[in-house]
Structure 1
Amino acid sequence: MFENEIMVDSLWLEVCHELKAKLGESRFATWIEVLKPICYENHKLMVLCQSNYIKTFINGHFKDYIEEAINNQLFPLIQERTELLPVVATDEIYLEAIKNSGGQTSFFSKSGEKATKKEN
Protein backbone atom coordinates (compact mmCIF):
# COMPACT_ATOMS: atom_id res chain seq x y z
CA MET A 1 0.00 0.00 0.00
CA PHE A 2 1.27 3.47 -0.83
CA GLU A 3 1.91 5.96 1.94
CA ASN A 4 -0.93 8.24 0.81
CA GLU A 5 -3.55 5.47 0.91
CA ILE A 6 -5.68 5.05 3.97
CA MET A 7 -7.41 1.74 4.52
CA VAL A 8 -10.93 1.76 5.92
CA ASP A 9 -9.84 -0.60 8.70
CA SER A 10 -7.01 1.74 9.72
CA LEU A 11 -9.40 4.67 9.79
CA TRP A 12 -11.84 2.68 11.91
CA LEU A 13 -9.10 1.78 14.42
CA GLU A 14 -8.32 5.48 14.91
CA VAL A 15 -12.01 6.31 15.22
CA CYS A 16 -12.47 3.54 17.80
CA HIS A 17 -9.49 4.74 19.81
CA GLU A 18 -11.03 8.22 20.04
CA LEU A 19 -14.52 6.92 20.82
CA LYS A 20 -13.30 4.56 23.54
CA ALA A 21 -11.66 7.49 25.33
CA LYS A 22 -14.73 9.69 24.90
CA LEU A 23 -17.51 7.18 25.65
CA GLY A 24 -15.86 4.93 28.22
CA GLU A 25 -15.11 1.22 28.10
CA SER A 26 -18.63 -0.08 28.78
CA ARG A 27 -20.53 2.03 26.24
CA PHE A 28 -17.78 1.52 23.67
CA ALA A 29 -17.80 -2.27 24.08
CA THR A 30 -21.60 -2.47 23.93
CA TRP A 31 -22.30 -0.19 20.97
CA ILE A 32 -19.19 0.67 18.97
CA GLU A 33 -16.92 -2.37 19.16
CA VAL A 34 -19.65 -4.51 17.56
CA LEU A 35 -19.70 -2.39 14.37
CA LYS A 36 -17.71 -3.50 11.33
CA PRO A 37 -16.44 -1.01 8.75
CA ILE A 38 -17.42 -2.09 5.23
CA CYS A 39 -16.45 0.61 2.75
CA TYR A 40 -15.96 4.31 2.17
CA GLU A 41 -17.51 5.89 -0.90
CA ASN A 42 -18.96 9.30 -1.79
CA HIS A 43 -18.00 10.70 1.63
CA LYS A 44 -19.92 7.96 3.46
CA LEU A 45 -18.42 5.34 5.75
CA MET A 46 -20.61 2.24 5.76
CA VAL A 47 -20.55 0.17 8.96
CA LEU A 48 -22.31 -3.15 9.47
CA CYS A 49 -24.54 -3.54 12.53
CA GLN A 50 -25.52 -6.93 13.95
CA SER A 51 -29.21 -6.05 14.15
CA ASN A 52 -31.79 -3.41 13.28
CA TYR A 53 -31.98 -2.57 16.98
CA ILE A 54 -28.27 -1.70 17.08
CA LYS A 55 -28.57 0.24 13.80
CA THR A 56 -31.48 2.29 15.20
CA PHE A 57 -29.68 2.87 18.50
CA ILE A 58 -26.49 3.98 16.73
CA ASN A 59 -28.47 6.41 14.55
CA GLY A 60 -30.31 7.81 17.57
CA HIS A 61 -27.55 7.97 20.17
CA PHE A 62 -24.04 7.62 18.73
CA LYS A 63 -24.08 8.78 15.10
CA ASP A 64 -22.96 12.32 15.95
CA TYR A 65 -20.10 11.04 18.14
CA ILE A 66 -18.94 8.61 15.45
CA GLU A 67 -19.15 11.18 12.66
CA GLU A 68 -17.18 13.66 14.76
CA ALA A 69 -14.43 11.06 15.31
CA ILE A 70 -14.41 10.13 11.60
CA ASN A 71 -14.16 13.76 10.56
CA ASN A 72 -11.41 14.45 13.11
CA GLN A 73 -9.37 11.93 11.11
CA LEU A 74 -10.52 12.66 7.55
CA PHE A 75 -11.43 16.31 7.23
CA PRO A 76 -7.81 17.52 7.38
CA LEU A 77 -7.02 15.11 4.52
CA ILE A 78 -10.00 15.46 2.19
CA GLN A 79 -11.51 18.82 3.22
CA GLU A 80 -15.06 17.44 3.13
CA ARG A 81 -17.33 16.06 5.83
CA THR A 82 -17.94 12.33 5.97
CA GLU A 83 -21.26 10.80 6.97
CA LEU A 84 -21.74 7.54 8.87
CA LEU A 85 -23.97 5.00 7.13
CA PRO A 86 -25.00 2.20 9.53
CA VAL A 87 -26.47 -0.85 7.76
CA VAL A 88 -27.59 -4.39 8.53
CA ALA A 89 -26.85 -7.43 6.39
CA THR A 90 -30.32 -7.35 4.80
CA ASP A 91 -30.19 -3.69 3.69
CA GLU A 92 -30.19 -3.31 -0.08
CA ILE A 93 -27.33 -0.80 -0.01
CA TYR A 94 -25.16 -3.29 1.91
CA LEU A 95 -26.02 -6.16 -0.41
CA GLU A 96 -25.18 -3.98 -3.41
CA ALA A 97 -21.84 -2.95 -1.90
CA ILE A 98 -20.91 -6.59 -1.27
CA LYS A 99 -22.04 -7.62 -4.75
CA ASN A 100 -19.99 -4.87 -6.38
CA SER A 101 -16.86 -5.40 -4.28
CA GLY A 102 -15.71 -8.53 -6.12
CA GLY A 103 -13.42 -9.46 -3.23
CA GLN A 104 -11.87 -6.03 -3.01
CA THR A 105 -11.31 -3.77 -0.06
CA SER A 106 -12.18 -0.11 -0.54
CA PHE A 107 -9.77 2.59 0.43
CA PHE A 108 -9.20 6.19 -0.47
CA SER A 109 -6.19 8.40 -0.90
CA LYS A 110 -5.45 11.72 0.75
CA SER A 111 -6.73 13.33 -2.43
CA GLY A 112 -10.09 11.68 -1.73
CA GLU A 113 -9.99 9.48 -4.82
CA LYS A 114 -11.50 6.04 -4.33
CA ALA A 115 -9.41 3.06 -5.30
CA THR A 116 -9.46 -0.63 -4.57
CA LYS A 117 -6.99 -3.28 -3.60
CA LYS A 118 -7.64 -6.88 -4.63
CA GLU A 119 -7.50 -9.28 -1.70
CA ASN A 120 -5.43 -12.44 -2.23
Structure 2
Amino acid sequence: MRESDPLNTPFSQAECKDYSYCVATFLEKYLKKVVSFPQALSVEYTVLEDKVKQITIYTHPSDMGHVIGKEGKMVSAIKAFVSGVKAKDGFSYKIVVFASNDKNSDKNPHVLGDQTP
Protein backbone atom coordinates (compact mmCIF):
# COMPACT_ATOMS: atom_id res chain seq x y z
CA MET A 1 0.00 0.00 0.00
CA ARG A 2 1.42 3.37 -1.02
CA GLU A 3 1.71 6.19 1.45
CA SER A 4 -0.25 9.25 0.34
CA ASP A 5 1.68 12.33 -0.70
CA PRO A 6 0.75 15.31 1.49
CA LEU A 7 1.03 17.65 -1.51
CA ASN A 8 -1.76 15.71 -3.21
CA THR A 9 -4.00 15.66 -0.16
CA PRO A 10 -6.79 18.16 -0.76
CA PHE A 11 -7.95 20.59 1.88
CA SER A 12 -11.47 20.28 3.17
CA GLN A 13 -13.86 23.08 2.31
CA ALA A 14 -14.08 24.02 6.00
CA GLU A 15 -10.30 24.42 6.25
CA CYS A 16 -10.16 26.68 3.21
CA LYS A 17 -12.58 29.28 4.49
CA ASP A 18 -9.38 30.99 5.66
CA TYR A 19 -7.38 31.18 2.45
CA SER A 20 -4.24 32.33 4.29
CA TYR A 21 -4.18 29.06 6.23
CA CYS A 22 -4.41 27.05 3.01
CA VAL A 23 -1.70 29.11 1.29
CA ALA A 24 0.68 28.85 4.26
CA THR A 25 0.07 25.11 4.64
CA PHE A 26 0.56 24.44 0.94
CA LEU A 27 3.73 26.54 0.77
CA GLU A 28 5.16 24.77 3.81
CA LYS A 29 4.43 21.31 2.36
CA TYR A 30 5.83 22.28 -1.04
CA LEU A 31 8.95 24.07 0.18
CA LYS A 32 9.84 21.20 2.54
CA LYS A 33 10.18 19.05 -0.60
CA VAL A 34 12.61 21.58 -2.14
CA VAL A 35 14.95 22.51 0.73
CA SER A 36 17.83 20.54 2.23
CA PHE A 37 16.77 21.15 5.85
CA PRO A 38 12.97 20.67 5.91
CA GLN A 39 12.91 20.49 9.71
CA ALA A 40 14.14 24.11 9.83
CA LEU A 41 11.43 25.42 7.50
CA SER A 42 8.18 26.93 8.70
CA VAL A 43 5.58 29.23 7.16
CA GLU A 44 3.37 31.64 9.10
CA TYR A 45 0.83 34.27 8.16
CA THR A 46 -0.31 37.42 9.94
CA VAL A 47 -2.67 40.29 9.21
CA LEU A 48 -0.62 43.48 8.97
CA GLU A 49 -3.39 45.98 8.36
CA ASP A 50 -6.75 46.27 6.67
CA LYS A 51 -6.62 44.11 3.52
CA VAL A 52 -2.90 43.26 3.85
CA LYS A 53 -1.54 39.93 5.08
CA GLN A 54 2.05 38.80 5.41
CA ILE A 55 3.32 35.32 4.68
CA THR A 56 6.64 34.72 6.43
CA ILE A 57 8.87 31.84 5.39
CA TYR A 58 11.56 30.85 7.92
CA THR A 59 14.30 28.71 6.44
CA HIS A 60 17.79 27.48 7.21
CA PRO A 61 20.43 29.95 5.91
CA SER A 62 21.85 27.40 3.47
CA ASP A 63 18.36 26.88 1.98
CA MET A 64 17.80 30.56 1.21
CA GLY A 65 18.90 30.00 -2.40
CA HIS A 66 16.42 27.15 -2.82
CA VAL A 67 13.53 29.29 -1.58
CA ILE A 68 14.45 32.34 -3.68
CA GLY A 69 15.57 30.33 -6.69
CA LYS A 70 17.84 31.15 -9.57
CA GLU A 71 17.29 34.78 -10.58
CA GLY A 72 14.37 34.87 -8.13
CA LYS A 73 12.26 32.47 -10.16
CA MET A 74 11.08 30.40 -7.19
CA VAL A 75 9.96 33.39 -5.15
CA SER A 76 8.33 34.82 -8.31
CA ALA A 77 6.38 31.58 -8.67
CA ILE A 78 5.34 31.82 -5.02
CA LYS A 79 4.19 35.41 -5.62
CA ALA A 80 2.19 34.30 -8.68
CA PHE A 81 0.51 31.54 -6.66
CA VAL A 82 -0.30 33.90 -3.80
CA SER A 83 -1.63 36.59 -6.15
CA GLY A 84 -4.17 34.04 -7.40
CA VAL A 85 -5.49 33.80 -3.86
CA LYS A 86 -5.89 37.58 -3.75
CA ALA A 87 -8.69 37.26 -6.28
CA LYS A 88 -10.56 34.98 -3.85
CA ASP A 89 -10.14 36.73 -0.51
CA GLY A 90 -9.41 40.33 -1.53
CA PHE A 91 -6.24 40.69 0.57
CA SER A 92 -2.86 41.84 -0.68
CA TYR A 93 0.00 39.66 0.46
CA LYS A 94 3.52 40.55 1.49
CA ILE A 95 6.01 37.69 1.25
CA VAL A 96 9.01 37.74 3.58
CA VAL A 97 11.76 35.13 3.70
CA PHE A 98 13.95 34.88 6.81
CA ALA A 99 17.15 32.84 6.68
CA SER A 100 17.57 31.89 10.29
CA ASN A 101 17.86 28.88 12.53
CA ASP A 102 15.76 30.74 15.11
CA LYS A 103 12.43 32.13 13.92
CA ASN A 104 12.26 34.34 17.02
CA SER A 105 15.43 36.15 15.99
CA ASP A 106 14.86 39.64 14.62
CA LYS A 107 18.57 40.19 13.96
CA ASN A 108 18.58 38.66 10.52
CA PRO A 109 20.31 40.35 7.59
CA HIS A 110 18.83 37.96 5.02
CA VAL A 111 15.31 39.26 4.59
CA LEU A 112 13.48 39.39 1.28
CA GLY A 113 10.21 41.25 1.15
CA ASP A 114 7.87 41.86 -1.71
CA GLN A 115 4.33 43.15 -1.95
CA THR A 116 1.97 41.46 -4.36
CA PRO A 117 0.04 44.07 -6.35
TM-score range, shorter chain: 0.3 to 0.5
What's the TM-score once normalised by structure 1's chain length? 0.47
What's the TM-score once normalised by structure 2's chain length? 0.48
